[in-house]
Amino acid sequence: MSQSPLRCAAIGVGHLGKWHAAKYAALPDTELVAVVDADSETASRVAAEHGCRAETDHRALIRQVDAVSIAAPTTLHFDIARDFLEAGCHVLVEKPITATLEQAETLNQIAEQQGVVLQVGHLERFNAALRRLTETPLHPRFIESHRLAPYKPRATDVSVVLDLMIHDIDIILSLVDAPLTDIRASGARVLTGDIDIANARLEFADGCVANVTSSRISTKSERRMRIFQSHAYASVDFQNRILSLNHIGEPDPETGAPAIHRTESVFDEADALLAEIQAFVAAVRGQGPVVVSGRDGQRALETASRITDLVYENLNIMSRADGPHSHLEGVKP
C-alpha cells in the first residue's frame, strides 16, 4: 500500500533554502506545501516557481505540514525549530544547528520527547567520495584537513570556524570513535571583524590526532581531508569528488622497501543536497537512520565553540602583548 506524500515546507528560501524547496517539489514522495521568507517578494517568487503557498511567518504552517527544512539565519534556527518540533513536525535544520549550546540541547530534548526527527544539514557528509570511504570501518590514527575558500561577503556574520571548519569538525567527530580529550587552536582576523583563518588540533582518547585548517581569505578553493591508519591512508578531495586509497603491500624482494598500492576513484557530479533530503525523508518514514542527528550537530557546535573561544583567547593575548595601539585591539572577548 503506497504512502501519501509527505507534506513539506522550506523556511527561509534565500541562497540555500530555495534549493531545499526545489528538491521537495521534485521528489515523488513529498509535496511542497509552502515556502516561508521574511521577504515577501522572495517568498512569492519561489512559491510561484513551484505552485505552492507563500508565507512570511512560519507559524502559519504549524500543524499543517509533516516536515520542514530551516535555512533561515542561524540566530533564528532555535525559535523556528522549537515551534515545529513542539507541534510534532520533523525538522531538517541547516548548520550550525543553533546559535548556542543551550538552544541545541533544548531542541534535542524536545525532539526526543516528541519522537520526531531532528536532522542537521552538514551537507559534506553526503559527498560521494566520503560516503564510499565510510562504507568500511575506519580506525584513524591521524587526520589532516584543509578547507580553503576565497573571500566572499556572504556568511561573514560568523567566524570561519562556524562558517567552514564546522564541516570538517562534524566529519572528524563521526570518523573517530573515541571521546575528544584536548583542543588547541589559533587564528587571525584579516578582512573582517571576526576570525578569517583558524587552525585547531584535536586530540582523542584513543590517541588519534586531527589537525584542521580553515580559511576564507585564500587565493584558491580546496576541500581536502587525509585519514591515516595503520598501514594505509586515504585522501578525500571533496571539491572534485576524488577518493584515493593507499595501503602497504608486500616488501620488494630486492630492496626490502614496502610496496605502496594506490587506487583512485572519481565520482560523477552528484546532488548532495538531494541525497541529504532523501535521507531525511527516509528517516521520517522510518526507512533509514538519521544520518546527521541533532546530537551530532550539537557535538559539532560544542567543538566549534571551544575552538572559537581558544582563538579569541590567543588573539587577546597577542593584543595585550602588542600594546594599546595594536591592530588587534578590541577583538571579541
Mean pLDDT of the chain: 92
In angstroms, the CA 192 to CA 29 distance is: 43
Prediction pTM value: 0.90
Higher-confidence residue of 88 and 3: namely: 88
CB 105 within 8 A of CB 247: no
In angstroms, the CA 69 to CA 227 distance is: 32
Question: What's the whole-number mean pLDDT along residues 100-129?
Answer: 97
Cell of 108: 534535542
Residue 330 has pLDDT above 60, yes or no: no
In angstroms, the CA 167 to CA 124 distance is: 7
Tell me the pLDDT tens digit for each residue of 293-328: 999 999 999 999 999 999 999 887 655 655 544 443
Question: What's the whole-number mean pLDDT along residues 128-145?
Answer: 95
- Which pLDDT value is given to residue 154? 65
In angstroms, the CA 255 to CA 233 distance is: 23
Tell me the pLDDT tens digit for each residue of 163-193: 999 999 999 999 999 999 999 999 999 988 8
Residue 100 has pLDDT above 50, yes or no: yes
In angstroms, the CA 200 to CA 168 distance is: 11
CATH number belonging to domain 6-116: 3.40.50.720
- Which pLDDT value is given to residue 158? 76
In angstroms, the CA 25 to CA 135 distance is: 30
- Which pLDDT value is given to residue 325? 43
Nearest to 35 by CA among 51, 15, 59, 13: 13
The torsion angles phi and psi of 180, rounded to 5 degrees, stand at -80, 125
Classify domain 125-270+302-317 at the CATH topology level: Dihydrodipicolinate Reductase; domain 2 (3.30.360)
- Which pLDDT value is given to residue 155? 59
Tell me the pLDDT tens digit for each residue of 4-36: 999 999 999 998 999 999 999 999 999 999 999
CB 95 within 8 A of CB 122: yes
Question: What's the whole-number mean pLDDT along residues 230-252?
Answer: 89
The residue extents of the domains of the chain are 6-116, 125-270+302-317
Lowest mean pLDDT among 13-17, 86-90, 109-113: 13-17
Residue 131 has pLDDT above 80, yes or no: yes
Residue 149: in which H helix or E strand, if any? none
Tell me the pLDDT tens digit for each residue of 190-226: 988 889 999 999 999 999 999 999 999 999 999 999 9
**Sheet containing 232-237, strands listed edge to edge, beginning at the edge strand earlier in sequence:** 180-188, 197-204, 209-215, 142-148, 222-229, 232-237, 242-251, 258-266
Strand-pairing partners, residue 265, are 243
**Alpha carbon 280 to its chain's center:** 15
Question: What's the whole-number mean pLDDT along residues 270-276?
Answer: 93
CB 159 within 8 A of CB 304: no
In the chain, DSSP finds a helix count (H) and a strand count (E) of 9, 14
User: HSE of 222 in the Cβ direction (CA atoms, 13 Å)?
Assistant: 16
Query: Residue 126 burial (CB < 10 Å; 0-12/13-18/19+)?
Result: buried
- Which pLDDT value is given to residue 248? 82
- Which pLDDT value is given to residue 209? 98
Q: What does each C-alpha distance from 314 to 100, 163, 329 come to in angstroms?
A: 22, 20, 12
Percent of the chain scoring above 70 in pLDDT: 92
